[in-house]
Amino acid sequence: MTWKDRWGRIARGRHDPVARTEPVSAELTCQELVELVTDYLEGALSADDQHRFEAHLDGCGGCRAYLEQIRGTILAVGGVARADLDPAMRERLVASFRDWRSRRDV
Amino acid sequence: MGSWPVGLPDSTEEARSRGWCRWTKAAAESGRTDDAGLVEALRQGDEAAYRALVDRYTATLLRLASMYVSNPEVAADVVQETWIGVLQGIDRFEERSSLKTWICRILINKAKTAAQREGRTISFADLGDDEPAPAVDPERFHDQGPNRGQWSMPPQEWDRPEERLLSKETRAVVERAIAGLPTNQRITITMRDIEDLSPAHTRSVLGISEGNQRVLLHRARTHVRAALEAYLSDVTETP
C-alpha cells in the first residue's frame, strides 16, 4: 500500500461503526475535543456527537490543526519500515514445511 | 498483493515433482494468489504457496512476537512454532476469520506462553486507569474564564507533512516514541498503524473489547503525536 492509499483511508477514517455510549456535552471545548479524536476517526461517535465534533472543527483552526497532526501521526507510524525477512530464517521455515509435508504424505 | 511469486524451487526437476509449475500456471490463470487461493494450494502441500504466505506474513509475526518476548531468538522460535501450528491446523481452518487473524491468533498464544517462560506477563484488561494521562498537556488550554478549555497554545499545522513525516529522521523519532509506550499500547498501535490491521482484527486477536482497543490506540497515538510535535517544531525553529 502506498502512503497515498493510506492517507486516503486515514482521511476517510470511518471503518468501525460502534457508537460510544456516554454523550458529550452540548458545546465541546478544545480540551474535550482532543480526547474524542480517536473515537471520531474510528467512527465510534454517535451521530449527535459527531455533529458537535464537526461543528467545533468548523470554527476552530487549532483543533483542525490538531486533527491533521493526528492524521499525520498515523501516516508517520505507518512509515516505520518492516524488517526484511532474514534468508536463513526463511530457509528454516521452509525446512519445517518439508518436514510437515513428508510426515503428512506417509 | 506484494511479492508473489517468490521462492522458486531449487531446480526445475524439483519444481515439477512438487507440482509447483502446475500450481503456478493454475494460480496465474485463475488469479488465485489471494489468501484463499494460497490456503487451498497449501492444503495440497504446495511449497510455493507456503513460501508466498511466509513472505507475506513473517515480518508481521516477528514484530508482534518481539512485543511479547524480549529475546530475539525466542521471538524467532515463536514464529517458527506459529508456522508449524499453521501447517498442522490448515485443514481445520474454516475461513470464518481471515487467514491473517487466524495466524496472528496462533502467534499470540505461542508468544504468551513463551513470555510466561521468560517471566513476563502482559495484561490487556488492566488499562491503568487510575490517572489517565490527557491527550494534550493541560497547560496548553485556558484553565479559567470564558475561554476555559480553549487552546491557549494551539498546535500549528505541519509544513510539507508527507515529505517530512516519512523521512528517515522522523521515523527514528516515531520508533523511539513507540518504544517508550507501555506494552499494551505498543502492541495496539503496532497492529493498527504499522501492520495496518483492522480494529475488529486487533481486538479479536488481543481478546479485548472494542472500547479498550480504542482507549489503548488513543493513548498510543497521542503520545506519538506529542513526540512528533516536539521534534517538528524544533526543526522549524532552527532551520
Per-residue pLDDT tens digits for B77-132? 999 999 999 999 999 998 777 898 899 999 999 999 998 888 877 666 555 554 67
Q: Quick check: B183 and B118 in contact, CB under 8 A?
A: no
Residue in the structure block whose three cell numbers are 498464544: B109
What average pLDDT is seen over chain B?
Answer: 82
Task: Output the pLDDT for position A21.
Answer: 46
pLDDT tens digits along B48-74: 999 999 998 998 899 889 888 888 899
- State the pLDDT at residue B10: 38
Q: Where are the domains of chain B?
A: 12-117, 138-237
Q: Coil, strand or helix: which one is B89?
A: helix
**B192, B217 contact by CB (below 8 A):** yes
Indicate which of A35, A75, A91, A97 best probes the interface with B, i.e. most B CBs within 10 Å of its own CB: A97
* pLDDT above 50 (res A15): no
- The answer to whether A16 contacts B156, with C-beta atoms less than 8 Å apart, is no
Cα–Cα distance for residue pair B51/A30, rounded to 1 Å: 50
Judge: domain B138-237, CATH 3.30.930.10: no
Report the pLDDT averaged over residues A29-55. 96
Which residues in chain A have their CB less than 8 angstroms from residue B194's CB?
77-78, 80, 82
Please report the sign of the dihedral spanned by the C-alpha atoms of residue B63, residue A44, residue B122, residue B173.
positive
State mean pLDDT over B148-159: 93
Interchain proximity B229–A69, CB inside 8 Å: yes
Our CA-based measurement puts residue B192 at a distance from the nearest CA of chain A, in whole angstroms, of 9
Average pLDDT, chain A: 82
CATH class assigned to B12-117: mainly alpha
Please determine, for residue A92, whether its predicted confidence score (pLDDT) is greater than 90. yes
Q: By the 8 A CB rule, do B70 and B113 touch?
A: no
Closest partner CB to A80 (pick from B47, B194, B217): B194
Which ipTM was obtained for this model? 0.73
List CB contacts (< 8 A) between A98 and chain B.
Answer: 47
pLDDT of residue A28: 93
B40 vs A16, more confident: B40
| Set of chain B residues whose Cβ sits within 8 Å of the Cβ of A62 | 150-151, 154-155
